[in-house]
Chains A and B, each alone.
Chain A
C-alpha cells in the first residue's frame, strides 16, 4: 500500500513566521502535490512537482513556495505566515501514468496561524 506521511497533524504558528510542512511518500512516485482544503471552497491545488527540483504552480500559489530535493520528500513553505493561511493542508502523490494511477493522500496537517 502507498503511504503518504505528513510530519504534523496539528500545527500552531504566529503571523510572520516561516512555516515548513513536510510530506514523505514511500512508493517512489514521480509526482507530488500540495492542496489546501477550506469549508465552502473545497480542495485547491497550491503546487505540484513532477520530479526532483521540478515544480509548477497550481491554482493558488501566492504566499507559498515548495522544495523537492529528494524524490520521496516534498515540502511546502509559508514564507511569512498570515491568518488567511489557516487551513487544512493535504499532500498527495501519484505514479507516472496520469490516466490510470490514483492520487494517494496523507492524513493532512491542520495549520492555525494566530
Chain B
C-alpha cells in the first residue's frame, strides 16, 4: 500500500528566503504527483502536477521536481512571502488498481515571518 511522507511537518522561515519542502513515496508505480496548498479552514488549491515521465514543473516562484525511481519529490519556493504561509500537501496517483483517488502526505505547515 502506497505511503506518502512529508518532511518537515512544520517550517518557519524569514521572508525572502528560498526554501525546499520534501515528499517521499514508497511505490514508484505512479501516474503523477500533485502539490497542493491549503489555507486554514479551506479546501485544497492545486499548485503543480508532475506526470511520471516528467522531471519537473514550474509555476511562477514554484518549482517541483520528481525522481520517480527514488520515490522523491521536492517543492522549491523562491523568494518566500508572508502570503505563502499555508499547509503544503503532496499526493500521488498510483498506477495500481482499486480506488481512483490520490494518496496524500500529512503536509508541511509553512510560516513565513514578515
Write the residues of chain A forming the contact surface with B, with a CB cutoff of 8 angstroms. Answer: 4, 6, 31, 33, 35, 40-43, 45, 48, 50, 56-59, 90, 92, 98-108, 110
Contacts and interface: CB of A to CB of B under 8 A. Distances in A.
A45 B107 contact: no
B19 interface: no
Nearest to B39: A107
Interface of B: 31-32, 34, 36, 41-46, 49, 51-52, 89, 91, 93, 99-102, 104-107
Given A102-B46, A103-B34, A107-B42, A43 B100 contact: no
Contacts of A40: 106
Nearest to A58: B99
Contacts of B43: 4, 6, 90, 105-108
A18 to B, nearest CB: 24
B11 to A, nearest CB: 17
B99 A103 contact: no
A45 B49 contact: no
17 contacts: A31-B100, A33-B101, A45-B101, A45-B102, A48-B100, A56-B99, A57-B99, A58-B101, A99-B32, A99-B52, A103-B46, A105-B36, A105-B43, A106-B43, A107-B43, A108-B43, A110-B41
